[in-house]
Structure 1
Amino acid sequence: MPSVLITGCSSGFGLAAAKLFLDRGWRVIATMRKPSPDILPASGNLVLLPLDVTDPASIASTMEKAGEIDVLVNNAGIGAAVPIELTEPETARHLFETNTLGTLNMLQAVLPGFRERRSGVIVNVTSTVTLKPLPLVGVYRASKAAVNALTESLAVEMEPFGVRVHIVLPGRSPETQFGENAVPHMRGLDNPDYKPLIENLIASFREESGPVTHAGDVAEAIWEAATDENAPLRIPAGADAVQWMAEAA
């Protein structure tokens, strides 16, 4: 039975991916900072583990309990929407420590085993905001663009060892907690220059009209990356993501 370890399974894309892989008969190691036993349906194929991707001790403990895995899905991440001018150093560090260095930490935890076995799949979930400049997400975008660059180089490094590497790029999703997570970091509502931009962004978090990305779209894209040997390096997830990628090509 193939096995997948997915980070950030408490909600959104990670939770949807965990459910999909379970439904299709995989052994799933679903990880999150604070696991809830009721978050996923009971299954003999499910292993629910705590994981903080910024903490080496947490990673080591989780990997020891997880056992051998065939696919790593780096989905854990945080968002922040704030003008670059007003971004506090702690916010910037938090974004890069979780989104970028957290991904690197997990890669370094599994790659030795994948390389030695000459098999394995890496799926890094980033964002279509990396495809074009957008206001208020500059530092978040930079943290995800860094993962794109890291993944592209990793794909070249791993090819001789039979390890496949992919990027899944979701679009805007009203089903995730990006908006809720981003609000505490917002700065500038008291600034007449930035206030209109920020108010428009807050409204867009709640907007569900037009093409959007659903959690199921991302789960299916992750499945494609994990199971299709001919999957491309970059896989858009969601109708808007497909549109953005086409425009960026």
Structure 2
Amino acid sequence: MSKIVFITGASSGIGKSIALYLHDRGYVVYGTSRNPDKIDVPFSMVALDVTKEETIQKAIAEVAEKEGRIDVLINNAGKGITGPIEDTPTDEMRENFNTNFFGVIDVVKAVLPQMRDQKSGLIINTTSIAGYMGLPFRGIYSASKGALELVTEALSMEVKSFGIKVVNVAPGDFATNIASGRYHTPVYENSAYKEKYAENLALMDSHVDSGKDPIVMAEAIHKIIENKNPKIHYKVGAFMEKFSIVLKRVLPDKMYEKLLMNHYKL
């Protein structure tokens, strides 16, 4: 029997690549988008906005009623944000957490009763390698993804007795349109961070442009789904991106900070 997979944020980028990859391998895929009628894909699309709980409940109920089960939930929908902490509007910080953190939790809460009833399920939360460290001018994004990593660890222990598995997948930089969808704090003329922030904006965009093909992430997700005993944490990206996490564990704080500051030319 084909597994039923529910993927948030499947209209573009990594989410779309995962959905297409799984669809081509015989999974029954339901992707989500705020405007699914505008998306031309071979898999089913349902309307969902992770910041609006009523749309989450409706979408989950629709798929569960139609298919009788949801085997895999992939929380992929997310939003980038850049800017110096001092210059970034606090409302934009809250909005980022509403998408990257609270929105994911609301989707998880909506699917858990179904998975408990069927006594099985796999939840995959897409976090970020940036969530393992506080990156300059991406501190809020790092914080939202880091918070999701920790909540996923807790959730894994809470739902294990119900036959539900919970996994984090932290991607590095991938060649997607995420940069265009980010909230970019403006480079203010009177900002104390004007020059350094402007330089780093260009650096961040170049990292995305030269990032890996999203198919690499799709392949990794497929392997996790097929693994009967998946790990809690996965990192998918370039060697140095993954190695940076190892360095943070072993190096003194000040030495690691100096490495990051040199990389970002601070």
The answer, yes or no, to whether TM exceeds 0.5 is yes
Aligned to 2:262: none
Q: State the SS of the aligned residue for 2:36.
A: coil
Partner of 2:196: 197
Contact 1:83 1:187 (8 Å CA) reproduced: no
Distance 1:209 1:125, change over 3 A: closer
Question: Which consecutive residues of structure 2, in runs of 5 or more, have no partner in the other structure?
Answer: 250-266
Structure 1 partner of 2:48: 51
Moved more, 208-217 or 114-123: 208-217
Unaligned 5+ segments in structure 1 are none
- Other structure's SS at 1:52 match: coil
Single out whichever of 217-226 and 146-155 deviates more from structure 2: 217-226
2:226, 2:101 → 1: CA distance? 25
How many corresponding residue pairs?
243
Separation (CA, whole Å) in 1 of partners of 2:11 and 2:189: 33
For residues 49-198 of structure 1, what are the structure 2 equivalents within 5 Å?
49-67=46-64, 68-173=69-174, 175-182=175-182, 184-191=183-190, 193-198=192-197
Measure, in 2, the Cα distance between the counterparts of 1:176 and 1:194. 27
Q: What letter corresponds to residue 32 of structure 2 in structure 1?
A: T
TM-score (norm 2): 0.84
1:210 & 1:244 partners in 2: Cα distance?
20
Counterpart amino acid of 1:4? Answer: V
Which stretch of structure 1 is more off in the superposition, 51-60 or 99-108? Answer: 51-60
Partners of 1:11 and 1:221 in 2: CA distance? 18
Contact 2:173 2:208 in 1 (8 A): no
State the match for 2:236 in structure 1: 237
Q: Distance in 1 between matches of 2:248 and 2:227?
A: 24
Question: Counterpart of 2:166 in 1: which secondary structure?
Answer: strand
| 8 Å CA contact 2:31, 2:45 repeated in 1 | yes
In the TM superposition, residue 57 of structure 1 has moved relative to its aligned partner by 1.4
Question: How far off is 1:56 after superposition?
Answer: 1.7
Following the alignment from structure 1 to structure 2, what is the Cα–Cα distance between the partners of residues 187 and 221? 35
TM-score by length of 1: 0.90
Q: Structure 1 residue 17 and structure 2 residue 14: aligned?
A: no
- Equivalent position SS for 1:90: helix
Seen in structure 2, the aligned counterparts of structure 1 residues 210 and 74 have a Cα distance that, compared at 3 Å, is closer
Q: CA deviation at 1:208?
A: 5.3
Going from structure 1 to structure 2, the CA distance change for 1:9 and 1:27 (only over 3 Å counts) comes to: same
Rounded Cα–Cα distance in structure 2 between residues aligned with 1:97 and 1:229: 32
Counterpart contact for 1:83–1:188, Cα < 8 Å: no
CA-atom RMSD in angstroms: 2.1
Distance 1:156 1:211 in 2: 37
Taking only the aligned residue pairs, the percentage that are identical comes to: 33
Paired residue type of 1:124: N
Q: Hey, what's the Cα distance between the residues in 2 that align with 1:233 and 1:210?
A: 29
CA drift at 1:98: 0.8
Secondary structure (helix, strand or coil) at the match of 1:48 reads strand
The Cα of 1:181 is off from its aligned counterpart by 2.1
Q: Secondary structure at the match of 2:82?
A: coil
What letter matches 2:78 in structure 1? G
Q: Which protein shows a greater Rg?
A: 2
CA contact (8 A) 2:101 2:148 kept: yes
Judged with a 3 Å threshold, the aligned counterparts in structure 2 of structure 1 residues 138 and 229 are, in CA distance, closer, same or farther, namely same
Supply the distance in 1 between the matched residues of 2:96 and 2:21 (Cα, whole angstroms): 28
Aligned partners of 2:208, 2:52: CA distance in 1, in Å?
A: 39
Q: Quick one: which amino acid aligns to residue 15 of structure 2?
A: G
Query: Deviations along 1:52-91, whole A, 9 cap, x unmatched?
Result: 1111211122112212210000010111101111121210
**1:207 offset after TM fit, Å?**
2.2
SS of equivalent to 2:135: coil
Alignment partners' CA distance in 2, 1:146 and 1:37: 32
Separation (CA, whole Å) in 1 of partners of 2:73 and 2:222:
11
